[in-house]
Structure 1
Amino acid sequence: MRIGIIGAGALGGTFAALLARAGHEVEVTARGAGLEAIRSRGIRLSGGYGEAHARVAAGEALTVRPDLVLVCTKAQDAEAAISANAALIDGVPVVVVQNGLDGVDAAARLLPRSACMGVLSIIAANYTEPGVVRVTTTAASYLGRGDGPADDECRRVAAILSDAVPVIAIGGFRGAQWTKLIVNMLNAVPAIVGRSVQDVVDDRHLRRVVTASMRETVRVGIARGVRFGSLQGLGDRRLRLFARMPLAVGQLLPRLMRVRMGSVPNLGSTQQSVRRGQPTEVDFLNGVVVREAARAGLSAPVNAALTALVHEVEASGAFLPASRVLAEVPA
Structure 2
Amino acid sequence: MNSVSTSHPRRIGIVGAGAVGGHVAARLALAGHQVTLLARGATLEAVRAHGLRYATGGQASQRVEVRAEATPQAMGAQDLVILALKSQALPTVVPTLGPMLAADTPVLTLNNGLPWWYFLVPGQALEGQRLARVDPLGETERAVDISRVLGGTIMTSCHCPEPGVVVHSAGARLALGEPGGGLSERAALWSGVLADAGLGAVASPQIRVDIWLKLLGNICANPLSLLTGVTTDRMIDDPGVRSLFAAMMEECIALGRRLGLTLDTTTEQRMAQTRQLGAIRSSMLQDLEAGRSVELDAILGAPIECAQAVGQPVPRLQEVFALACLRAEGAGLYP
Q: TM-score, normalised by structure 2?
A: 0.82
Amino acid at match of 2:257: I
Q: Distance in 2 between matches of 1:278 and 1:90?
A: 32
2:308 corresponding residue in structure 1: 294
Q: Distance in 1 between matches of 2:181 and 2:269?
A: 31
CA shift digits 1:204-230 (9 cap, x unpaired): 2111111111111111112222223xx
**Contact kept? 1:127, 1:272, Cα under 8 Å:** no
Q: How many residues align?
A: 297
2:196 alignment partner, SS class: coil
Measured after TM superposition, the shift of residue 114 of structure 1 is 5.9
Q: Distance in 2 between matches of 1:316 and 1:55?
A: 39
Instruction: Please list every run of 5 or more consecutive structure 1 residues that lacks an aligned counterpart in the other structure.
Output: 229-235, 243-249, 319-331
CA shift digits 1:165-186 (9 cap, x unpaired): 1210010111222111112122
Q: Distance in 1 between matches of 2:146 and 2:154?
A: 25
1:177 corresponding residue in structure 2: 211
1:100 alignment partner, SS class: coil
Say if 2:115 is the partner of 1:80: no
1:254 corresponding residue in structure 2: 271
Amino acid at match of 2:158: A
2:29 corresponding residue in structure 1: 20
CA shift digits 1:66-98 (9 cap, x unpaired): 111111101111232211112432531211111
**Contact kept? 1:38, 1:131, Cα under 8 Å:** yes
Say if 2:167 is the partner of 1:134: yes
Instruction: Please list every run of 5 or more consecutive structure 2 residues that lacks an aligned counterpart in the other structure.
Output: 1-9, 121-134
Q: Distance in 1 between matches of 2:308 and 2:28?
A: 41
Amino acid at match of 1:138: G
**Contact kept? 1:140, 1:166, Cα under 8 Å:** yes
Alignment of structure 1 residues 188-207 onto 2, 5 Å: 188-207=223-242
**Contact kept? 2:19, 2:159, Cα under 8 Å:** yes
1:268 corresponding residue in structure 2: 282
1:114–1:295 distance in 2 versus 1, CA, 3 Å? closer
**Contact kept? 1:78, 1:103, Cα under 8 Å:** no
Say if 2:129 is the partner of 1:112: no
State the identity as a percent.
Answer: 29
Amino acid at match of 1:116: V
2:172 alignment partner, SS class: coil
Say if 2:94 is the partner of 1:94: no
Q: Distance in 2 between matches of 1:48 and 1:150?
A: 32
**Contact kept? 1:10, 1:126, Cα under 8 Å:** yes
Say if 2:323 is the partner of 1:304: no
Measured after TM superposition, the shift of residue 127 of structure 1 is 2.3
1:116–1:59 distance in 2 versus 1, CA, 3 Å? same
Measured after TM superposition, the shift of residue 108 of structure 1 is 6.1
Say if 2:251 is the partner of 1:213: no
2:125 corresponding residue in structure 1: none
Say if 2:181 is the partner of 1:145: no
1:209–1:113 distance in 2 versus 1, CA, 3 Å? closer
**Contact kept? 2:151, 2:179, Cα under 8 Å:** no
Measured after TM superposition, the shift of residue 202 of structure 1 is 1.7
1:140 alignment partner, SS class: strand
Deviates further, 59-68 or 159-168: 59-68
